[in-house]
Amino acid sequence: MNQLDILQQHREALLLAEAIGLLHDYRKCSDEHLKTQASNLSGQQALARNELGNRYPQLSNTNVQLLGITCAVTDLLDDRTWNKDVLGQYLSRCHKTAHFDKQEPVGGKQNYPHIQRSTPFGFENNVFNGLTEKLWGLPWDKLSSYSADKRNSLRHAIEDLFSQTIADTRRPINEVDLWSWGLLVGALYKSALAGALLTGSPPNAGDLRWRLLGVRVNGLNYLLSVARIPDLLTRQEIISDSLDRVRNLLEVTYPLGSEVYRDENGSVYVVPDIADLLNRTDGNGISLRDLILQEFEQGTVKNKPTLQLGGEITPHLGLEQVPWWGQDPEWPNSSNDELPDISKFLSRKIASLANAGVIQQFWQHQEAADICTVCGLRPQGPSQKAADRNVCDICEERRADRSQKWATSQSNKTIWTDEVADANGRLALIVGRFDLTHWLDGSLLDSLLLIAPHNPENAEGKPVTSKTPSFSRLRRIWETTRRFWRDVQNGIEWQLTDDRRRLKIFLDSVPDLGPFHVYDLVLGVTNLSVVWIPARNDDAAGYLLSADNLGYIAHQLGAEPAIYGDPATAAIFVEEYLQKEFVANGCRPVLRNPDAGTRQSNRNLLACVHIVQVEYQQDAYATLIPILAEPQTFMIIVSADKSLDVLRNIKEKYEREMGKVRDRLPIHLGVVYASRRTPIRAVLDAGRAMLDCRTMAQRWTIESSVNGQSSEVTLDIKRNGHQIRWRIPLRMNDGMTEDQWYPYIFLDTRGDDKKVDDAQRRAVKIDWPAEACWIVHAGDLREGEVIYVWPSTFDFEFLDTTARRFEIHYDEEGRRPRRTRPYYLEDLDRLEGLWNCMKRLTKTQRHQVIRTIEATREMWYGQDAGGASTKDDVFRQFVADTLAGAQWEWQKFPTEWQEKLIQAGVRGELTDLAELHMEILKE
């Protein structure tokens, strides 16, 4: 049996083959290619094949030597020579295998120079011109002496360029960007050659098959089981480093696979079709399985061996049992395609247990000790500073390392929740989740069409066809949703950077404090969070740096709203207070350790120290703490007073970019509000509970359908007294091409296919997991019809106590055991309008109106578990009379808003509004 070492021996050749796979269709990254594909141009010439050799002649003398074959790089990058030897035949087969991703559409050509590239959900952007110049600007010379050291820089350069153009300009396959196309072929090619080396008997090109390998953990549970944000961010860095080390092992050290998926729960790789792959060994007899586990355990921070992940969690390794070949080798004479089932890896529940053997070592020579409050595995200490904070030395050093990074190089960001909190001391954890369940299992891809019905360009009458659930397409789906969240995160960072400042507090001597640890400076009515920054070249004695929202501190110290409401003015106010109290008056400061045990909690750490100077720091910082921005999961902590603005921005972005599939791609948003000192573990637990929100497909009735000059359709849909409005785009980004492929909605026919009327409108019968059903183009839907919708929602909860988080749970229909929540995402605009109406009343009047309605509801219906009050016309009339009797000129409200206010009062939504705006946000 050949060992893994054979891959090391041929490493450079395998990596060069991978690069050739990435670049094999490089000629498509050119203005010449876009012109040849354009419908408005004719007689255009493609980029000449010999141009590469002319510009980089050294590539003609650079060879790939594998399987006893020697082939020049320029020959492998010329598809006319692929059939002359095994290396070319393998590359040709991999190219054809990948064609299960790039099916043949009918028509769909675009005009040059306005070529568009699309996301998998039909949202388009321009492909820029000047591609050819950028193509020749790639570092082609790296191929002539290719090595592992050059791999990353070349890949990044290719990705940056190829991801901006497309492998085919025809709609709707203009979603296949050239990077994902080359990445797939490169992954297949390298794996095929590695498999041939390992088995020692290269199969014929037509017999090549591959498998998927999953390296999965319960990453979300590991990340969120923390007591403080620095611990979370450190764990995030360690998990990322662990997965990077495994990727380097499988892609470079033993180049047999390529990572094709990653999220917070691990990675998935394309590997050769070798059933016992994980049992193959290196020259020392160590199996690939053990090598992966060893690499994963070495994940750390800043390459420090003492801070390694160790045995805190162990990944689950799974090799696909059934191999696949992608597109049928006999295509087009046969269509027996075999596609990998990546959804099995992503849907499997993983229990990432600790490695007991590794953890045991920490307890062998340890006297009786409490367990670390961060990792929950190792004993506290043994250092005194770690023991005082109830953590082990490893977790303490990790935390300090994160704080040092913040203090020395990340002054424009924060890792402290106290700094994020608003002037009322409130923060908000915003969570988001895309429900990709039926996208990643491939079933919803049947609703995305390749060849549409009633297509005027389909002169040959080719059958209506859906897109294939290729794992490359699934990759683009999760990349699109991950990019969505990362764009949201970047937008929030820009939006929430204000004029907040920090203060430097200098002392007359060096106290015995932990470097970069956070402490509480007692200011009488409140505590100011400060971090000890030890001495550096420019600070002989070190200083305390504030880690708090100085607007909140100013508020607590009695400043007027005009002062504490302005970040810069608030900082000056607190600076002057400290100068007066501790410098001018000579009061002795009191500094305490908030993490200390009961015996140490009242100890003054500055008992013999005075404050001698306070300085105003000029650097502003963004008031947010990013936590997760993964394909399905998003988490970020922001100032509570900015939370609704963030929600509205996410909603607008979602409607703009996912509007054509909003009925099938629900987004669930949640906000957990808390006070600044609420234990972060409780806040994260509440956020994780909100991420569990799932919605089943629901039946909604179309109240009206209005086409707006064919550019979009406005649908008013209704269910159980709730009405929401959708605006669904009906054209592509050029504003002229009608979208025949994306905006389809599931129609409830009640088994009567005649209701579809597919001869008169665009409708397709598809196999939805258990039964056949119809989808109809959104522009062809009719009033009164019933459609299936996976609704998007948003929810919120205020943790006035940490136990409140246990009230967040959802039934199978995505509802909580309370009357109103969660809301539909589209309700955000309606609720904003309702609050603008309610603000016409005084604060006292708002309380009186809402208290009257809710007291009467309780008196008439008790707990009203069945929601009887919402169905009672008498109670509805009572609510209407109560609102009309308030002192706010009720008759001047438009009838539409009178009705909305009454309905909100009947449902109890006015109570939610008052809680959100008056109690939580303190407006």
Give the 3-state DSSP-derived string for 245-262, with helices as H, strands as E and coil as C.
HHHHHHHHHCCCCEEEEE
Question: How far apart, in whole angstroms, are the C-alpha atoms of residue 353 and residue 476?
Answer: 31
pLDDT computed for residue 866 by the predictor: 78
Mean pLDDT, the chain, as a whole number? 92
Span 837-857, average pLDDT: 94
3-class secondary-structure state, position 142: helix
* 113 preceded by a cis bond (ω within 30 of 0): yes
Helix (H) or strand (E) holding 747: strand 744-747
Centroid of chain to Cα 675: 26
3-class secondary-structure state, position 215: strand
Asked if 700 and 719 count as a contact pair (C-beta separation under 8 A), the reply is yes
pLDDT computed for residue 411 by the predictor: 61
Distances (CA, A) of 170 to 27, 102, 683: 17, 10, 47
Distances (CA, A) of 139 to 62, 134, 135, 152, 747: 15, 10, 9, 12, 52
pLDDT computed for residue 598 by the predictor: 56
Q: Is the pLDDT of residue 747 over 50?
A: yes
Q: How confident is the model at residue 364 (pLDDT cuts 50, 70, 90)?
A: confident
Question: Which residue has better confidence, 342 or 29?
Answer: 29
Distances (CA, A) of 883 to 839, 851, 862, 903: 13, 12, 22, 11
pLDDT computed for residue 399 by the predictor: 87
Q: How many CB atoms lie within 10 A of CB 626?
A: 21
- Sequence-separated contacts (24+) of 138-146 with Cβ below 8 Å: 140/52, 140/55, 140/56, 140/59, 141/56, 141/58, 143/16, 143/19, 143/56, 143/59, 143/62, 143/73, 144/56, 144/58, 144/59, 144/61, 144/62, 144/73, 145/62, 146/12, 146/15, 146/16, 146/19, 146/62
Helix (H) or strand (E) holding 482: helix 471-495
Span 188-196, average pLDDT: 97
Q: How do residues 103-154 score in pLDDT, each as one tens digit?
A: 899 999 999 999 999 999 999 999 998 999 999 999 999 999 999 999 999 9
Q: How do residues 622-637 score in pLDDT, each as one tens digit?
A: 889 999 999 989 999 9
Percent of the chain having pLDDT more than 70? 98
Span 855-880, average pLDDT: 92
Q: How do residues 226-267 score in pLDDT, each as one tens digit?
A: 988 889 989 999 999 999 999 999 999 999 999 988 888 999
Question: How far apart, in whole angstroms, are the C-alpha atoms of residue 27 and residue 48?
Answer: 8
Q: Is the pLDDT of residue 290 over 70?
A: yes
Percent of the chain having pLDDT more than 90? 74
Q: How confident is the model at residue 365 (pLDDT cuts 50, 70, 90)?
A: confident
Q: Is the pLDDT of residue 410 over 60?
A: no
Span 406-411, average pLDDT: 72
Q: How confident is the model at residue 539 (pLDDT cuts 50, 70, 90)?
A: low
Q: How do residues 766-798 score in pLDDT, each as one tens digit?
A: 988 767 899 999 999 999 999 999 999 999 999
Q: How confident is the model at residue 385 (pLDDT cuts 50, 70, 90)?
A: confident
What tokens were used for 712? 């979009």
pLDDT computed for residue 1 by the predictor: 46
Centroid of chain to Cα 87: 39
Q: How do residues 576-621 score in pLDDT, each as one tens digit?
A: 999 999 998 888 899 998 887 655 667 899 988 899 999 988 777 8
Asked if 634 and 488 count as a contact pair (C-beta separation under 8 A), the reply is yes
Q: How do residues 644-676 score in pLDDT, each as one tens digit?
A: 999 999 999 999 999 999 999 999 999 999 999
Question: How far apart, in whole angstroms, are the C-alpha atoms of residue 134 and residue 154?
Answer: 14
pLDDT computed for residue 537 by the predictor: 65
Q: Is the pLDDT of residue 181 over 60?
A: yes
Q: Where are the alpha helices (DSSP H) in 200-316?
A: 219-224, 229-248, 288-297
Question: How far apart, in whole angstroms, are the C-alpha atoms of residue 318 and residue 158?
Answer: 30
Residue found by looking up tokens 């603000």 in the block:
839
pLDDT computed for residue 594 by the predictor: 86
What tokens were used for 587? 């009061």
pLDDT computed for residue 296 by the predictor: 96
pLDDT computed for residue 772 by the predictor: 84
Span 717-737, average pLDDT: 94
Burial 645-674 (b: 16+ CB within 10 A, else e): ebbeebbeebbebbbbbbbbbbbbbbbbbb
Q: Is the pLDDT of residue 366 over 90?
A: no
pLDDT computed for residue 384 by the predictor: 86
Q: Which of 344, 466, 447 is nearest to 768 (CA)?
A: 447
